[in-house]
C-alpha cells in the first residue's frame, strides 16, 4: 500500500478519530448478536487509539435497510451494548449524526447509527463527505470488507480527509493477501470452490496467471469439466460460462500453470443425501446423476500439490459439505490445509463455515474478514477504491 499510512504512524493525542469499521454482523430474530467475531476483530485498533489519547467516532453499516428511513432491526444499538461490555467503557449511540456534533473528550467513544439509513451513503456523495470531514481530525479505515465499494464513508470521506490511514485489522488483511501473491508462483496454490463460476471468473483468470496450481471445486469445477467436453449429468453448472471457463483453461496452458480438476466424484440422484451415493470416475457420470463431492482419487491429487506448497489461498468448498453424505472432500481439504507447512490464507463465508465445522480456525495462518473485497483485492492487484482513496485527495 504505497503512500498510505498506518494508524501507528499518525499522532492521535487529543484527536477526534473517525474510525470506519465493519460491524455488519448477523443478528438473531430477537435482535441479539449471533456472531461477534467482527466486533472482536476491530478491538485492537480501538484500544490502540484510546491508549494514544484519542476520542473515537465509530462508523459502520449493517444489513440493507431502506435508504432514507430508520428500521429498528438494522439499528446498531445491540452492537453498542456488546462493545461496552468488551471495552468496559461507555459507548454512546448517536442517531441523527449528520445534524449533530461529534464532540467527545479523550477516551470517549461514539458509535454513529447505521450509515445505510442515509440515502447519501450508497451514492458516494462528495458534498456530504465534505460536511462530515469537518467534524473530526483523523480518518482511519479498518473495514477491509468494504474496501471494494465506492460509498461515502469508505471512499469520498477518505478523499476529503487530509489526515488519514488504515487500522490494524486492515493492515493485517493487506499483509496476508500480499504475502500470498508476492514473490512469484513457485509452490503457490489457490483452491477456489463454490456454486457459481460467474462470480469468480475474474478471480480465476488472475489466479491461473499468478499461482503454480489452481484447484477448482463445486459447481465451478462442473462448469470447467463441461468446457473440457465431459459429461456432468444433472449437476449444477453454468452453460453461459462455458466459453469463459475454456478461456481460463487456455490462460493456464499459456502461462504454464496447473489447473486441477476432479477425476472422480461422489454422485447421487439428487442432493437430499437420502439416496444411495456412488463413486464414479470421470466419463462415467450418468445423465440422471449429480456430482456432489470429490472422490478419493481427486482428494489424493489435491494432497499431492498441497504437500509441497509454500503458500495456500482457499476460497470455497469442494462439494455440498453441509450434508454429511457429501462432506468428505471439503473435510479432507480442510484437514490438509490445516496441516500444511506453507503459509495459509482462507476467506469467504462458506469457507469459514467449513473451517469451523471440520478444523480449528487457529490452524489457518490468516482468516480474512473480507468476502468480496478478499476476491477483488486479488483480481485487481490491490487497487480497491478504499485503498486508493487513502493515497489521494478529493
CATH of the domain at 135: 3.40.50.1260
d(CA 109, CA 93): 9
Any domain includes 392: no
**Region 238-259 average pLDDT:** 95
pLDDT category of residue 394 using cuts at 50, 70 and 90: low
Task: Report pLDDT for 183.
Answer: 65
Residues 135 and 242 in one domain: no
Report yes or no: 39 and 198 within 8 Å, Cβ to Cβ: no
- Residue 269: is its pLDDT beyond 90? yes
d(CA 376, CA 183): 20
Could you give the number of structural domains in the chain? 2
d(CA 275, CA 269): 7
The separation between CA 371 and the C-alpha centre of its own chain, rounded to angstroms, equals 2
Any domain includes 188: yes
How close are the terminal C-alpha atoms of the chain, in Å?
Answer: 18
Residues 337 and 205 in one domain: yes
Report yes or no: 136 and 108 within 8 Å, Cβ to Cβ: no
Any domain includes 1: no
Angle between helices 328-339 and 296-306 (to 10 degrees): 10
Residues 142 and 207 in one domain: no
d(CA 90, CA 153): 24
Domain housing 68 = 7-169
d(CA 258, CA 255): 9
- Residue 310: is its pLDDT beyond 80? yes
Residues 202 and 137 in one domain: no
Residues 195 and 327 in one domain: yes
pLDDT digit string, tens, across residues 140-155: 999 999 999 999 999 9
Residues 73 and 190 in one domain: no
Q: Which helix (H) or strand (E) holds 202?
A: helix 201-210
- Which carries the bigger pLDDT value, residue 302 or residue 374? 302
What is the pLDDT of the chain when averaged over all its residues?
93
**Region 253-259 average pLDDT:** 95
- Residue 365: is its pLDDT beyond 70? yes
Residues 138 and 227 in one domain: no
Q: Which three cell numbers stand for residue 215?
A: 484447484
Residues 204 and 318 in one domain: yes
Last residue of a domain, one of 142, 169, 196: 169
Residues 371 and 236 in one domain: yes
pLDDT digit string, tens, across residues 191-236: 999 888 888 988 999 999 989 999 999 999 999 999 999 999 999 9
- Which carries the bigger pLDDT value, residue 291 or residue 382? 291
194 vs 220, 276, 287, 380, CA distance in Å?
6, 23, 22, 21
Report yes or no: 50 and 88 within 8 Å, Cβ to Cβ: no
pLDDT category of residue 349 using cuts at 50, 70 and 90: confident
Residues 211 and 321 in one domain: yes
Any domain includes 362: yes
Q: Which three cell numbers stand for residue 193?
A: 470452490
Residues 211 and 271 in one domain: yes
Last residue of a domain, one of 135, 169, 203: 169
Residue whose C-alpha cell reads 485527495 in the numeric block: 393
Is the pTM value of this prediction over 0.85?
yes
Task: Report pLDDT for 184.
Answer: 66
d(CA 105, CA 9): 22
Q: How many CB atoms lie within 10 A of CB 99?
A: 6
Any domain includes 227: yes
Any domain includes 391: no
pLDDT category of residue 104 using cuts at 50, 70 and 90: confident
Residue whose C-alpha cell reads 463413486 in the numeric block: 279
Give every CB contact of residue 388 below 8 A, 6+ residues apart in sequence: none
Residues 97 and 72 in one domain: yes
DSSP conformation letters of 145-197: GGTTS--IIIIIHHHH-SSEEE-HHHHHHHHHHHHHHSS-STTEEEEE-SS-S
Last residue of a domain, one of 137, 169, 201: 169
Task: Classify 261 as helix, strand or coil.
Answer: coil
Q: Which three cell numbers stand for residue 153?
A: 464513508
**How many CA atoms lie within 13 Å of 265's alpha carbon, on the beta-carbon side?**
28
Amino acid at each position: 500500500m504505497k503512500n498510505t499510512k498506518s494508524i501507528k504512524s499518525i499522532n492521535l493525542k487529543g484527536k477526534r478519530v473517525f474510525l470506519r469499521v465493519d460491524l455488519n454482523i448477523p443478528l438473531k430474530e430477537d435482535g441479539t448478536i449471533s456472531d461477534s467475531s467482527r466486533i472482536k476483530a476491530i478491538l485492537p485498533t480501538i484500544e490502540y487509539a484510546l491508549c494514544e489519547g484519542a476520542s473515537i467516532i465509530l462508523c459502520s453499516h449493517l444489513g440493507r435497510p431502506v435508504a432514507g428511513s430508520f428500521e429498528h432491526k438494522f439499528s446498531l444499538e445491540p452492537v453498542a451494548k456488546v462493545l461496552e461490555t468488551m471495552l468496559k467503557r461507555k459507548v454512546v449511540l448517536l442517531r441523527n449524526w449528520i445534524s449533530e456534533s461529534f464532540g467527545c473528550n479523550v477516551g470517549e467513544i461514539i458509535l454513529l447509527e447505521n450509515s445505510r439509513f442515509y440515502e447519501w451513503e450508497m451514492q458516494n456523495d462528495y458534498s456530504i463527505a465534505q460536511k462530515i470531514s469537518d467534524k473530526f481530525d483523523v480518518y482511519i479505515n479498518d473495514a477491509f470488507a468494504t474496501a471494494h465499494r465506492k460509498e461515502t464513508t469508505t471512499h469520498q470521506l477518505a478523499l476529503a480527509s487530509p489526515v488519514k490511514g488504515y487500522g490494524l485489522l486492515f493492515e493485517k488483511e493487506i499483509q496476508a493477501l500480499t504475502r500470498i501473491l508476492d514473490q512469484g508462483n513457485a509452490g503457490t496454490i489457490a483452491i477456489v470452490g463454490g456454486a457459481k463460476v460467474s462470480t469468480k471468473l475474474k478471480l480465476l483468470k488472475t489466479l491461473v496467471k499468478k499461482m503454480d496450481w489452481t484447484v477448482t471445486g463445486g459447481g465451478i469445477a462442473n462448469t470447467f469439466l463441461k468446457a473440457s467436453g465431459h459429461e456432468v449429468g444433472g449437476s449444477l453448472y453454468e452453460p453461459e460460462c462455458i466459453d469463459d471457463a475454456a478461456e481460463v483453461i487456455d490462460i493456464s496452458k499459456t502461462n504454464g500453470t496447473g489447473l486441477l480438476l476432479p477425476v472422480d466424484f461422489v454422485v447421487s440422484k439428487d442432493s437430499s443425501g437420502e439416496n444411495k451415493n456412488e463413486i464414479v470416475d470421470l466419463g462415467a457420470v450418468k445423465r440422471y446423476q449429480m456430482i456432489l463431492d470429490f472422490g478419493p482419487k481427486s482428494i489424493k491429487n489435491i494432497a499431492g500439490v498441497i504437500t509441497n506448497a509454500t503458500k495456500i489461498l482457499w476460497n470455497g468448498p469442494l462439494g455440498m459439505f453441509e450434508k454429511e453424505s457429501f462432506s468428505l472432500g471439503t473435510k479432507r481439504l480442510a484437514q490438509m490445509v490445516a496441516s500444511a507447512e506453507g503459509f495459509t490464507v482462507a476467506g469467504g463465508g462458506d469457507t469459514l463455515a467449513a473451517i469451523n465445522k471440520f478444523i480449528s480456525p487457529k490452524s489457518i495462518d490468516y482468516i480474512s474478514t473480507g468476502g468480496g473485497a478478499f476476491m477483488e483485492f486479488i483480481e485487481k492487484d490491490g487497487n480497491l477504491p478504499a485503498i486508493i482513496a487513502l493515497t489521494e485527495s478529493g
